[in-house]
Amino acid sequence: VRGDIAATGPIVVEGTYELGMQDQAFLGLEAALALPDPGGGGVELHVATQWLHEDRGQIAACLGLPDDAVRLVLGGVGGAFGAREDISLQVHSCLLALRLGKPVRMAYDRGESFLGHVHRHPASIWMRHHATADGEIVKIEARFVLDGGAYASTSSAVLLNAITHTQGPYRCANAVVDGYAVRTNHLPCGAMRGFGVVQACFAHESQMDRLAEACGLDPVEIRLRNAMRTGDPLITGQIVESVAPVERCIRETAALPLPDEPIGGLDGDPMRLPGGAGRTADASNIRRGIGWGVSIKNLMYSEGFDDYSTARCRLADGRVTLKFATSEVGQGFVTIAGQIARSILGVDDVDLDPIDTSIGSAGSTSASRQTWMSGGAVDAACRRVRERLFEHVGRIHDLDPLQLEIDGTDVVDTLGDLRLPVAVATSGIEFDETVEYHHRPTEELDEQGQGNCHTAFAFVAHRAVVDVDPDLGLVKVVQIATAQDVGRALNPLSVIGQIEGGIAQGLGLAVMEEIIQVDGRIRNGNFTDYLLPTFLDMPPVLATLVEEPDPQAPLGAKGVGEPPCISSTPAIVAAIRDALRDELGRARPLTRVPVRPADIAL
């Protein structure tokens, strides 16, 4: 509850929005190799996971072993998207290995995988927006109901994230929000890319389009008039201290060119039409629509959680060795870590030790946190090693270490002529530092839902162009344009990869992906019946990186993994609504995702 609960305005719009259950659909299935110690006093487990130390704690507790008797080694890259936050076959693999006294390998097939990990929470969300005649938001009322499935998993945390993002990236002084996560006889639900904000965003962006129509404004203008800025308060009372370039994201997305070819293209290729090679659609019957979505996403863990990451840096003979327990699941941290070390220490050769639990925790590869947290830990460890290097060179050459810096691959004296290659300066000497990096503390919300529960935020805007066959209910996404707040792009190619991959998952939720259950049993637990976007379904993505380094971030960089999949979904649905306007210009409501052909054609 925030502000004046009786506040209202001359414009009031409301709606109820529903989201189906989406699967993370990672390519690498759950698999593990457990190696028992001689005598059965411990076990080593090789497994793909998002958080090695959390898995170790749960395995040790289940097996009645001390933590140090259970060793985990990251088993490979196979994708995760939240589904590897909960353990699956880890305990069983270790238990069998200890019981048999022999190595045990266990692996799921795809059907078992659908049953063996958590999924995105289905949701029903009611929202009511009160606004002035000019379209400025006065108050938001909302009620969230999330289907947690048969177990609790992370439902309470997902719910908190959803309700605290009710307002989206817009100013709002007054709010009343209720949220519920319920147990059902459905598949268990938990973490998935976006972590509750996907659900909130589909609702608040649908509401923004309703508000625009009620006020006689276009979708861009209504968002610009309400765009959040640095220093604005959230409905939790927390001040947004992160760089908040919401207006810039919207304007730079709007500036990207629209498709320059007509419906169906200039070459008559049927693959350019909804339905593709089936030749079911005729270009003369296709309607084109444009839709918008804008979102805010919290970064790192929240509500007082002691979030930290550990990294070790060793420099010897011009070569750096890095050690961390950061789970690499495809996000590219192993590339970023080497970049950080090369930039700070002026070396070309960087080795990465195996990723395992022989060093302190790096936390989970989730919440768009590893660039900030583990990147911060690697950065701090490398800087400590550099300090020791400068002290060593200063002693030998009778110089103040403060006047030394790295230039390329050399240590140089900024006030003199000394230029010494790092490889020479470290010949026969080793510098070794381990650092634990923490972000600033957060706090739990009070009984009224007030408090500084989040650490930082990132923002993004999406514009979708779609072609729709209204008679057959077929949709083809023609283009996605986006401008994303990335803070500082440490590796632009990796950032673009995250943006394109996230948009693919957002497209899937918009028009394809849903786990179907009847009486608690899954009916489409395979990649034949559970529809995923393919190469042919992906549109061209025009992306602009909004680089305004965040002063709170150790490298100025924000996490980029989650925002692309959040507002791309409502942008695509808004474009479908736009394409289906009737003769009076009224849009089809389309209040549920994924949008099915029957929702369009019937």
- How many CB atoms are closer than 10 A to CB 362? 27
Contacts of 91-96 with CB under 8 Å at 24 or more apart are 91/58, 91/59, 91/62, 91/63, 93/32, 93/33, 93/34, 93/45, 93/47, 94/34, 94/43, 94/45, 94/59, 94/63, 94/70, 95/62, 95/63, 96/34
Mean pLDDT of the chain, nearest integer: 96
* pLDDT bucket at 219, cuts 50 / 70 / 90: very high
The arrangement of strands across the sheet holding 43-47 comes to 70-74, 43-47, 31-36, 104-107
How far is the C-alpha of 181 from the C-alpha of 158, rounded, in Å? 9
The pLDDT > 70 percentage for the chain reads 100
Residue 12, H or E segment: strand 11-19
* pLDDT bucket at 584, cuts 50 / 70 / 90: confident
Domain ranges within the chain, ordered by starting residue: 11-21+119-301+447-601, 31-110, 308-438
Residue 235 has pLDDT above 90, yes or no: yes
3-state helix, strand, coil in the chain (%, to 5): 30, 25, 45
CATH fit for domain 31-110, picks 1.20.58.1910, 3.40.50.720, 3.30.365.10, 3.30.460.20: 3.30.365.10
Nearest to 311 by CA among 340, 348, 331, 332: 340
The pLDDT > 90 percentage for the chain reads 96
Residue 280 has pLDDT above 90, yes or no: no
pLDDT at position 485 is 98
* pLDDT bucket at 516, cuts 50 / 70 / 90: very high
Name every residue whose Cβ is closer than 8 Å to that of residue 448 and which is 6 or more positions away in sequence: 1, 2
pLDDT at position 44 is 98
Q: Which residues pair with 438 in a beta bridge?
A: 308
Report the CATH fold assignment for 308-438: Aldehyde Oxidoreductase; domain 4 (3.30.365)
pLDDT at position 147 is 98
How far is the CA of 439 from the CAs of 111, 117, 244, 302, 334, in angstroms?
39, 30, 19, 11, 21
How far is the C-alpha of 222 from the C-alpha of 211, rounded, in Å? 8
Residue 585 has pLDDT above 90, yes or no: no
Assess whether the region 31-110 and the region 308-438 belong to the same CATH fold: yes
Q: pTM for this structure?
A: 0.97
Residue 386 has pLDDT above 80, yes or no: yes
CATH architecture of the region 11-21+119-301+447-601: 2-Layer Sandwich (3.30)
How far is the CA of 407 from the CAs of 165, 336, 540, in angstroms?
44, 20, 40
- Taking only the tens place, the pLDDT of each residue in 301-354 is 999 999 999 999 999 999 999 999 999 999 999 999 999 999 999 999 999 999
Mean pLDDT along residues 570-583: 95
* pLDDT bucket at 396, cuts 50 / 70 / 90: very high
Q: Which letter, b or e, does each residue of 197-228 get, where b requires 16 or more Cβ atoms within 10 Å of its Cβ?
A: bbbbbbbbbbbbbbbbebbebebbebbbbbbb
- Tokens 């283009």, located at residue: 479
- Taking only the tens place, the pLDDT of each residue in 114-149 is 999 999 999 999 999 999 999 999 999 999 999 999
* pLDDT bucket at 76, cuts 50 / 70 / 90: confident
- Taking only the tens place, the pLDDT of each residue in 29-38 is 999 999 999 9
- How many CB atoms are closer than 10 A to CB 381? 27
Mean pLDDT along residues 211-235: 98
Tell me, what amino acid is at 364?
Answer: S
* Cβ contact 376:554 at 8 Å: yes
pLDDT at position 582 is 86
How far is the CA of 379 from the CAs of 324, 327, 348, 489, in angstroms?
12, 17, 16, 15
Q: Is 190 exposed, middle or buried (0-12, 13-18, 19+ CB in 10 A)?
A: buried
